[in-house]
Structure 1
Amino acid sequence: MKHEAGDQPLRPDELALIDRYWRAANYISVGQIYLLDNPLLRTPLKAEHVKPRLLGHWGTTPGLNFIYAHLNRVISRRDLDMIYICGPGHGGPGMVANTWLEGSYSEIYPDVPRNEEGLRRLFRQFSFPGGVPSHAAPETPGSIHEGGELGYALMHAFGAAFDNRELIVACVIGDGEAETGALAASWHSNKFLNPVHDGAVLPILHLNGYKIANPTVLGRMPEEDIERLFLGLGWEPHFVSGEDPASMHRQMAATLDRIVSRIRTIQDSARGSHDAATMPRWPMIVLRSPKGWTGPKQVDGKKVEGFWRSHQVPVANARGDAGHRQLLEEWMRSYRPQELFDADGRPQGDLLTLAPTGERRMGLNPHANGGLLRRELKLPDHRTFAVDVAAPGLSVAEATRVMGRYLAEVMRLNASVRNFRLMGPDETASNRLDAVFEVTDRVWMQDIEPFDTNLAADGRVMEILSEHLCQGWLEGYLLTGRHGLFSCYEAFIHIVDSMFNQHAKWLKVSRELPWRKPIASFNYLLTSHVWRQDHNGFSHQDPGFVDLVANKKADIVRIYLPPDANCLLWVTDHCLRTYDRINVIVAGKQPSPQWLDITQADRHCDVGIGTWDWAGTVAGDEEPDIVMACAGDVPTLETLAAVDLLRQALPTLKVRVVNVVDLMTLQSEYQHPHGLTDAHFDALFTTDKPVIFAYHGYPYLIHRLTYRRHNHPNLHIHGFQEEGTTTTPFDMAVLNGIDRFHLALAALKWGPDAGTEGAALKAEFDARLAAHTAYVREHGEDMPEIREWTWTHGR
Structure 2
Amino acid sequence: MDATHGTRERHASGHRDDRRALPFVPGPLGPDSLQRIDAYWRAANYLSVGQIYLMANPLLREPLKPEHVKPRLLGHWGTTPGLNFIYAHLNRVIRQRDLDMIAVWGPGHGAPGLVANAYLEGTYSEIYPDVAQDLDGMARLFRQFSFPGGIPSHASPELPGSIHEGGELGYALAHAFGAALDSPGLTVACVIGDGEAETGPLAASWHANKFLDPRTDGTVLPILHLNGYKIASPTLLARMPADELRSLLVGYGYAPTFVEGDEPAPMHQAMATALDAACDAIADIRRRAGHGEAGRPRWPMIVLRSPKGWTGPDRVDGKPVEGTWRSHQVPVAAVRENAGHRAILESWMRSYRPEELFAEDGSLVVDLAALPPQGPRRLSANPHANAHRSAPLRLPDLGRVAVAVPEPGRLTAEATRVLGTYLREILTLNAASRNFRIMGPDETASNRLDAVFAVTGRAWQDEILPGDDHLRRDGRVMEVLSEHLCEGWLEGYVLTGRHGLFATYEAFAHVVDSMVNQHAKWLKSSRDLPWRRPVPSLNILLSSHVWRQDHNGFSHQDPGFIDFVANKRGDTARIYLPPDANTLLCAMDHCLRTYDRINVVVAGKQPALQWLALDEAARHCAAGAGIWDWASNEGDAGPDVVMACAGDVPTLETLAAVDWLRRHLPELRVRVVNVVDLMTLPAPETHPHGLDASTFDSVFTRDRPVVFAYHGYPWLIHRLTYKRTNHGNFHVHGFIEEGTTTTPFDMCVLNRLDRYHLAQAAIRAVPRLGARAEHAEEALRDALAAHREHVRRTGDDLPEVRDWTWPERSATEDHDRRIEGDIMQCGPTDADEPGRAGTVDGWTVVT
TM-score scaled by length of structure 1: 0.99
- CA displacement at 1:746 relative to structure 2: 0.2
Pick from 751, 762, 773 the counterpart of residue 747 of structure 1.
762
1:158-307 to 2 correspondences below 5 Å: 158-273=177-292, 277-307=294-324
* CA distance in 1 between partners of 2:560 and 2:256 (Å): 42
Secondary structure at the counterpart of residue 555 of structure 1: coil
Which residue does 1:760 correspond to in 2?
Answer: 775
Please tell me the residue identity of whatever aligns with 1:452. D
**Retained in 2: the 8 A contact 1:111–1:118?**
yes
- CA displacement at 1:667 relative to structure 2: 1.1
2:539 aligned with 1:523: yes
* CA distance in 2 between partners of 1:256 and 1:531 (Å): 53
Please tell me the residue identity of whatever aligns with 1:583. N
Which residue does 2:710 correspond to in 1?
Answer: 695
Which residue does 2:743 correspond to in 1?
Answer: 728
Which residue does 1:140 correspond to in 2?
Answer: 159
**Retained in 2: the 8 A contact 1:3–1:238?**
no
Please tell me the residue identity of whatever aligns with 1:471. E
Please tell me the residue identity of whatever aligns with 1:236. A
- CA displacement at 1:752 relative to structure 2: 3.5
Which residue does 1:514 correspond to in 2?
Answer: 530
Which residue does 1:448 correspond to in 2?
Answer: 464
* CA distance in 2 between partners of 1:271 and 1:461 (Å): 22
Runs of 4+ with deviation above 6 angstroms: 1-7
Which residue does 2:430 correspond to in 1?
Answer: 414
Which residue does 1:570 correspond to in 2?
Answer: 586
Which residue does 1:502 correspond to in 2?
Answer: 518
- CA displacement at 1:272 relative to structure 2: 2.3
* CA distance in 2 between partners of 1:158 and 1:629 (Å): 44
Please tell me the residue identity of whatever aligns with 1:542. D
Which residue does 1:705 correspond to in 2?
Answer: 720
* CA distance in 1 between partners of 2:127 and 2:231 (Å): 33
- CA displacement at 1:482 relative to structure 2: 0.3
**Retained in 2: the 8 A contact 1:304–1:314?**
yes
- CA displacement at 1:788 relative to structure 2: 1.2
**Retained in 1: the 8 A contact 2:48–2:116?**
yes
Pick from 363, 375, 378 the counterpart of residue 346 of structure 1.
363
Secondary structure at the counterpart of residue 169 of structure 1: strand
1:23-38 to 2 correspondences below 5 Å: 23-38=42-57
Which residue does 2:149 correspond to in 1?
Answer: 130
* CA distance in 2 between partners of 1:278 and 1:702 (Å): 52
Pick from 59, 66, 71 the counterpart of residue 40 of structure 1.
59
Which residue does 2:85 correspond to in 1?
Answer: 66
**Retained in 2: the 8 A contact 1:614–1:794?**
no
* CA distance in 2 between partners of 1:383 and 1:395 (Å): 18
2:318 aligned with 1:318: no
**Retained in 1: the 8 A contact 2:578–2:676?**
yes
Secondary structure at the counterpart of residue 141 of structure 1: coil
Q: Deviations over 1:292-334 (max 9, x none)?
A: 0000000000010000000000001111100000000000000
**Retained in 1: the 8 A contact 2:627–2:671?**
yes
1:535-574 to 2 correspondences below 5 Å: 535-574=551-590
2:501 aligned with 1:477: no
**Retained in 2: the 8 A contact 1:3–1:255?**
no
Please tell me the residue identity of whatever aligns with 2:29. L
Q: Deviations over 1:486-539 (max 9, x none)?
A: 000000000000000000000010011000000100000000000001210000
**Retained in 2: the 8 A contact 1:319–1:325?**
yes
1:640-659 to 2 correspondences below 5 Å: 640-659=655-674
Pick from 621, 625, 638 the counterpart of residue 623 of structure 1.
638
Please tell me the residue identity of whatever aligns with 1:245. P
* CA distance in 1 between partners of 2:3 and 2:67 (Å): 47
**Retained in 1: the 8 A contact 2:654–2:758?**
yes
Q: Deviations over 1:361-386 (max 9, x none)?
A: 0101011111x220111110112211
Secondary structure at the counterpart of residue 149 of structure 1: coil
**Retained in 1: the 8 A contact 2:574–2:679?**
yes
Q: Deviations over 1:749-784 (max 9, x none)?
A: 112431212101111101110110111111000011
Report the CA distance shift for 1:622/1:102 in structure 2 as closer, same or farther (over 3 A): farther
Q: Deviations over 1:566-595 (max 9, x none)?
A: 000101111000000000000000000000
Q: Deviations over 1:196-225 (max 9, x none)?
A: 000000000000000000100001012111
Secondary structure at the counterpart of residue 138 of structure 1: coil
**Retained in 2: the 8 A contact 1:564–1:594?**
yes
Which residue does 1:404 correspond to in 2?
Answer: 420
Q: Deviations over 1:685-721 (max 9, x none)?
A: 1010000000000001100110000000000000000
Q: Deviations over 1:247-297 (max 9, x none)?
A: 100000111011101101101110222x6x421000000000000000000
Please tell me the residue identity of whatever aligns with 1:518. P
* CA distance in 2 between partners of 1:2 and 1:207 (Å): 14
**Retained in 2: the 8 A contact 1:7–1:254?**
no
Moved more, 688-697 or 782-791: 782-791
**Retained in 1: the 8 A contact 2:78–2:327?**
yes
* CA distance in 1 between partners of 2:304 and 2:339 (Å): 36
Please tell me the residue identity of whatever aligns with 2:666. P
**Retained in 1: the 8 A contact 2:3–2:267?**
no
Secondary structure at the counterpart of residue 629 of structure 2: coil
Secondary structure at the counterpart of residue 85 of structure 2: helix
Please tell me the residue identity of whatever aligns with 2:243. E
* CA distance in 2 between partners of 1:622 and 1:313 (Å): 72
Please tell me the residue identity of whatever aligns with 1:683. S
2:109 aligned with 1:93: no
**Retained in 1: the 8 A contact 2:702–2:726?**
yes
Please tell me the residue identity of whatever aligns with 2:521. K
Pick from 400, 405, 409 the counterpart of residue 393 of structure 1.
409
Please tell me the residue identity of whatever aligns with 2:290. R
TM-score scaled by length of structure 2: 0.93
**Retained in 2: the 8 A contact 1:421–1:460?**
yes
**Retained in 2: the 8 A contact 1:628–1:656?**
yes
Please tell me the residue identity of whatever aligns with 2:735. F
Which residue does 1:119 correspond to in 2?
Answer: 138
* CA distance in 1 between partners of 2:105 and 2:306 (Å): 16
**CA RMSD, 1 decimal:** 1.2
**Retained in 1: the 8 A contact 2:2–2:261?**
no
Question: Is there any run of 5+ residues in structure 2 with no aligned partner, and where?
Answer: 6-24, 811-847
Please tell me the residue identity of whatever aligns with 1:260. C
Secondary structure at the counterpart of residue 528 of structure 2: coil
**Retained in 1: the 8 A contact 2:133–2:364?**
yes
* CA distance in 2 between partners of 1:284 and 1:91 (Å): 21
* CA distance in 2 between partners of 1:600 and 1:28 (Å): 60
- CA displacement at 1:618 relative to structure 2: 2.1
Which residue does 1:328 correspond to in 2?
Answer: 345
Pick from 690, 695, 710 the counterpart of residue 675 of structure 1.
690
Please tell me the residue identity of whatever aligns with 2:480. I
Report the CA distance shift for 1:568/1:163 in structure 2 as closer, same or farther (over 3 A): same
* CA distance in 1 between partners of 2:228 and 2:351 (Å): 24
Question: Is there any run of 5+ residues in structure 1 with no aligned partner, and where?
Answer: none
**Retained in 1: the 8 A contact 2:544–2:604?**
yes
Please tell me the residue identity of whatever aligns with 1:693. F
Please tell me the residue identity of whatever aligns with 2:66. A
**Retained in 2: the 8 A contact 1:173–1:205?**
yes
**Retained in 2: the 8 A contact 1:537–1:726?**
yes
